[in-house]
Chain A
Amino acid sequence: MERRSLLKLMGATAAMAGVGLAPGRAAAADKVTIALIPGLTADGFYVTMHKGAEAAAKAVGAELLYQGAAEWNVSLQVPILDAIIAKKPAAILIAPNDKTQMIAPLKKAFDAGIAVVCVDTFIGSGVFQTGAGDADFPISYVASDNVLGGRIAARALAKAIGEKGKVYVSNVKPGVSTTDQREEGFKDEMKKYPNVTVLETQFNDDDANKAAAQVQAVIGRVPDLAGVFGANLFSAGGTANGVKQGGMVGKVKLAGFDAPESIVAQLKDGTFELTVAQHPAEIGYFGFMEAFAFVTGNPVPTAIGTGFSVMTKDNIDDPKVSKYLYKSS
């Protein structure tokens, strides 16, 4: 709680700095143009982030460029980045597709005098402006802490299963920084519960059909399975279906990650016990504001952490919680 309010304060300061100074240099020159390159376009998380950035752009009267690839792939993201660099925006917000492979391509933007802000994912160590290494040139990293997200899911799931029993993580594939971190946080936090056993992780290649079959197979072997943590949308959704097909709803508790609007019905009918929602709109909004503040000559923090909301059937109707559902409009 303490941490989150501090983060909010940081964010708010950044936002106020941006808003307050909007008429200054920005008004004298042309409109400030800032680009946002998502990790991939076809994902509710980034669609929502785009909406947040749009709201920020509107608030300060700046222009937002939005271009991305349909897939999570460095070789698709680099040409898009190059095309954006050619348009010479004042700043680029980007969710880099790889920690190391994106360093050189982003350095080109930096060398062209474009400010770089990492959103959601990062390059190098994710700690910027320290003078260490070759990847510390981005001005800031704006994201939710995925290790913490995994921990939050672990705590909530442990509570739901009475702090005892067998659980496992249904994950996409090894090597994706954000989902790896969620798994890491989840497993680490579960060590605090001596009566909870974490079984082998199952990788589903983002295929809901496979995630469903996997949970059924695990139940076949481990009939007393108590819970599953689905580390992303399709892992969670597929697992939920497998539990339903196996007639185990209520016996196997599910913790999901991410919050498309379809999650509401699934929380209410008991398919999901809970889901951990990130705040992508917040990432887009504060990422944009931070870049704007920087290019208009203001000091900015080198990291902004955005929060999480745990959604359950008991709180999902509360507008304070439901406003964090991922929306395209």
Chain B
Amino acid sequence: MTPQPGSWAIARHRLRLDTAAVVVLWIPFTLVVAAIYVLVGLYGNLSTSVWEQATQAPRWFAGGLGVYLTAVYLPLYITHGQTRRQFATQMPAFVVVLAALLAALITIGFAVERVVYDLGGWLQALERAHLFDGVDQYPVVLLEFWLVFMVWIAAGALVGAAFYRRPGLGLLLVPVVLAIVAAAELAVGTAFFGPFPEPLLTAAGVGLEARPIPVAVITCFTLAVVTAGLTWLVIRDLPIRSQAA
């Protein structure tokens, strides 16, 4: 047999490509957010954190990246001589690192915003509950977004794999993955409800409030592991689709 590609070849390949992609996409994203600061500053009143609102976009980016991982890249890796199991064992490590990178960029954003708000004399108030009380609790900010991004990427990967395998299965799993990310968001106290209407949550006694850090960590890790397990069930014998004529 020919010597095989180095161990963790898929994870290293993805890290090289996606780190570059995140850095490149972060530039226009921050420019758009900067433009929002200017508009709000000119025509309104900067009294809350704009960056907190802006963190919605990276969440969807993380979810989309998860979809791409399984719907586009997994078939490519298999057609280039990798196995489904190699992909499944290397992806969690990659997701952990990429989520950390995204969380670090978010944390840096909060830090930069704090400096700008201090210079302008504005109030960097938060509109939602978080694991952190103030944005200067940088390690907790990093932790919260790391947990959230991990679950979003994992959820995206699950629904991407399901759609690749069978569109009907993908549709069936859409509410499931929305529930998964909503549960993660509720665990850190923010306000993404997914398929759950707020009154339903209130009736169930699930308030949008800050929760203890250990609860959030255990909940998000459990969700990520369960999602990865479901993804494995979908991809373990995934047939590579025939090409369209």
The answer to whether A and B come from one shared complex is no
